[in-house]
Amino acid sequence: MRDLMNPDPPERRLRLPLHVRLREHLLLEPLLPFARLILGTLRDLAPIIAVIAVFQLAVLRQPFPDIEKIVIGLAFVMLGLALFVKGLEMGLFPLGEGLAQDFSRKGSLFWLLFFAFALGCGTTVAEPALIAVADEAARTAADVGAIENSDSGRAAYAFGLRYTVAFAVGLGITLGVFRILKGWPVHWLIIGGYVLVMCLTFFAPAEIIGIAYDSGGVTTSTITVPLVTALGVGLSTMIRGRNPLIDGFGLIAFASLTPIIFVLIYGMVI
C-alpha cells in the first residue's frame, strides 16, 4: 500500500513543474489506494444494503420513500469514510503509532500515562460514530423535553456527552496501560467495573441509562482501535516477559467500560 502511494523516484519529481507536483500530491498520487478504500467502505455497507433490499423486496413489498436522497447520502457515507480513513493512514496513524512506540520505550511513567490519557481523549472526540450518536441522543432528549429544545441546548448536551465519554475513555486507557505495566489480570478490573455499573444504575435517572450503556460500544471504532491497539502491543513488546498477544489486549475493554460509568455519573449530576 505504501509503495503504491509513492511510485516515483524523488529525482523525477523535482524536475516536474510545481502545479503538476501539487496535483500529484493532492489527487493523483493517492488515487489507486483510494479506489481500494472506496471498495472497502462499500464492503462495510454491502451487508446493510443487502439485508434492507431483501426486506424491501420480499417482506415489506412497498416503495422506499426518498430513495434518491438515501442513495446520495450513502454515496457521501462511502466517499467520506474512504477520505477519512485515507487521511488517517497518511498522517495520524503512522505518527500516533510512532509516538506510542516512543513512549513505551521512553521509560517515564508520568509521560506514558499522560500520553495514554491524551490519546484516549483525543481519538474519542474525533470518533465519527460518537459524534452521530451524541447528536441523535441530544435530539431525542430535546424532543421528549428533557433538555431545552434549541440549537444551543442540543449542542451543549451533545458536547457534554462527548467530552464526558472522551474523558472516560482517556481514563480507561490510562488504567489499561497501568494494568499492562503491573501485569494485573484484566478480568478482576473489568468485573469490578461491571459491579460499579450495576450499583450506579440504581441511582441514575432512567433517561440516561440507555445512552450510558450504548456509549460504551460507540466509542471504540475507526480512530481509537488502531491507535490504542498500537499502544498496547508496543507496550507489551517492550516489557520483558510479556506476551503481546495476551497483555496487549484489554485496553479496548477498559475503553468500552469506563464511558458507561462516567455517563451514568454525568446523568446524575446534570
Partner 1 sequence: MELLEHIGLTELGTLRDIAPLAILVLFFQVVVLRKRPATSLRRLSVGGIYVVLGLGLFLVGLEQALFPLGKTMAAQLTDPAFLKLAPGAVAIWTDYIWVYVFAAAIGFSTTIAEPALMAVADKAASVSGGTISVWGLRIAVALGVSAGVALGTIRIVTGIPLHWLIMAGYMIVIVQTLFASRTIIPLAYDSGGVTTSTVTVPLVAALGLGLAANVPGRSTLIDGFGLIALASVFPIIAVLAYAQISQARAGRARRAPASPGQGVSNTKEGL
CB 171 within 8 A of CB 263: no
Q: What's the CA gap between 143 and 139, in Å, rounded?
A: 6
- Per CB under 8 A, the list member of 36, 55, 184, 203 interacting with partner 1 is 55
Burial class (CB in 10 A: 0-12, 13-18, 19+), 22: exposed
* 176-215: contacts with partner 1 (CB under 8 A): 185-187, 190-191, 194, 197-198, 201, 206-207, 209-211, 213-214
What are the φ and ψ backbone dihedral angles of 147, each rounded to 5 degrees? -130, 170
- Other CB atoms within 10 A of residue 15 CB: 8
Please give the single-letter amino acid code of residue 125.
Answer: V
Nearest approach, Cβ of 177 to partner 1 (angstroms)?
Answer: 13
Binding residues for partner 1, how many (CB under 8 A)? 111
Nearer to partner 1, 160 or 207 (CB): 207
Q: Is 50 in the site for partner 1 (CB under 8 A)?
A: yes
Q: What's the CA gap between 259 and 212, in Å, rounded?
A: 7
Site string for partner 1, 211-250 (x = CB under 8 A): x-xx-xxxxxxxx-x-------------------xxx-xx
Q: What cell was used for 253?
A: 475493554
Q: Is 75 in the site for partner 1 (CB under 8 A)?
A: yes
Extract long-range pairs of 126-130: CB within 8 Å, 24+ residues apart. 126/223, 127/218, 127/219, 127/220, 127/221, 127/222, 127/223, 127/224, 128/81, 128/84, 128/221, 128/222, 129/218, 129/221, 129/222, 130/162, 130/165, 130/215, 130/218, 130/219
- Per CB under 8 A, the list member of 38, 113, 131, 196 interacting with partner 1 is 131
* 90-109: contacts with partner 1 (CB under 8 A): 90-92, 94-96, 98-99, 102-103, 106
Nearest approach, Cβ of 217 to partner 1 (angstroms)?
Answer: 4
Q: What cell was used for 129?
A: 460514530
Nearer to partner 1, 192 or 269 (CB): 192
* 6-45: contacts with partner 1 (CB under 8 A): 25-26, 40-41, 43-45
Q: Is 52 in the site for partner 1 (CB under 8 A)?
A: yes
Q: What's the CA gap between 105 and 3, in Å, rounded?
A: 28
Q: Is 113 in the site for partner 1 (CB under 8 A)?
A: no
- Per CB under 8 A, the list member of 104, 164, 174, 256 interacting with partner 1 is 256
Q: Is 153 in the site for partner 1 (CB under 8 A)?
A: no
- Other CB atoms within 10 A of residue 230 CB: 21
Q: Is 156 in the site for partner 1 (CB under 8 A)?
A: no
Nearest approach, Cβ of 7 to partner 1 (angstroms)?
Answer: 15
Q: Is 174 in the site for partner 1 (CB under 8 A)?
A: no
Helices (H), ranges, 29-66: 31-54
Nearer to partner 1, 143 or 240 (CB): 143
